[in-house]
Structure 1
Amino acid sequence: MSNFKSDLDWLQEKQKERAKEVPSEKIEVLKLTLRRLPKLESIRLDGASVVGRTLKRSTQGADWYQLWMRASHIFSLVVTAMAQSGTSVKRLDVYREIPRCCIPSGHITSYASSLGTKQLEMMCERLESLNLSMSTEIRSSLNTEEPDQNTVHEHEGDNDDEKTLYSEDESELSKPEDGYLSPGDPRAILSRETPGITRFLMTAPALRELDLSFRNALGYEMSDSYDRIIGSIAHETNFPMLE
């Protein structure tokens, strides 16, 4: 019981610290580090549910909404820091093998739109492999229609010792009131602008491997969001070295 109380106190303290995070400060720290590593072989974004000082669990049973918001936030910090530092990478793995962990496609579009063409070109010029797990749209906040930048969840770190298969039964993710948008909601459909993932790929001529995972977060029949993404990639990108 004493260990449980100690872990609980530790988690609550970490949550207080997380609530005080300033994104610009995190980006600055990452940027300073990446400037010393201008040409990286790989970056892999991993995740786990932190339940104690030394105990982490698979994301399989985690609160999906908090998990996805946190994962998306971390992705934005890393990408922004890479772009601002001029760092390029050969292999980028974004939650591809993390159970039930995705980045909403609209978030990727927002992040790509915030970067200049030269920043994207410098960041992706050496990219040979991209593994990415994305979802259809979900609300940015369960309580309001405006994005909540303070939504956080204890979710970080490597967990190589624990392997969990993806769940094929997603019936528990089918209720719109749990945070999903209905298929007819405009926010669930990509805008007419070029999807963010396509904008990234347009600046990656050296790409040899592309592995995209799509999750239907709507809980209904698939919307045309993914058709638009795939069609956009097919018609707007060129990968002469793709294997």
Structure 2
Amino acid sequence: MLILGIETSTGASSVSFWSDHGRVGGMTIARERGHVEILMPAVLRTLELAGLSIDRLTGVAVGLGPGLFTSLRVGVATAKTLAQVLDVPIVGISSLDLLAFNVRFTPKLICACVDARRGEVFAAFYRQAQGGVHRLNDYSTWEPKALAAEAISRDEDVLFVGNGAVVYHDELGEIGEVATGSSQYPRAEALCELAAPLFAREETTPLALLEPLYVRRSDAEINWERRGVVIKRPDRVRISKKAMEGRA
């Protein structure tokens, strides 16, 4: 087994490779733009450093968001293209699930939240469960004060995790703990760890049905709609023949 994980929902995107023996390589991409140009080179460079070739992949896992619209779209499209070209199965997992998994050992109520811009966060609540976490509600968009009020209404000690919690620390830190450090970003390593048993059980997603989890529309879509223009999101990205020839 060799799984590629691609997670691009935040400004700290990452790629990782996972085998039967655990993590074999990974890379973090600390930027919010330009993923079309850097994502595939990052995948191939990580493989090179691990002494592996891309044609050994047996599956692709991708973070579905919600998060940054453009980078998320590129990440999902790249994952789908690779799965199609290499004829391997694909699994998609919410980036909020990955955040909650980062702090799965806490006994506290978990609130995973990603900065959604416009003074909002994407968030969901979780509780520790055997082998990971269990989500308690739908993925939603919240104003920080409303999210704080919801957390208070649950009457439990709460741990907020994600860059949304860091951005809105003033509102959320008053009523609960805010996780910091690497746990504030969804990671491709955790993505691979969660996806591995799904691949083993053949619980994969049909390629045509795999889509990013946007939760709300982007500013660009709203602005273009006002002008009467329809935006079509790309389902695939173009991967050059030269890039694929460098896989061996």
What is the TM-score when the length of structure 2 is the normalising length?
A: 0.29
* Greater percentage in strand: 2
What is the TM-score when the length of structure 1 is the normalising length?
A: 0.29
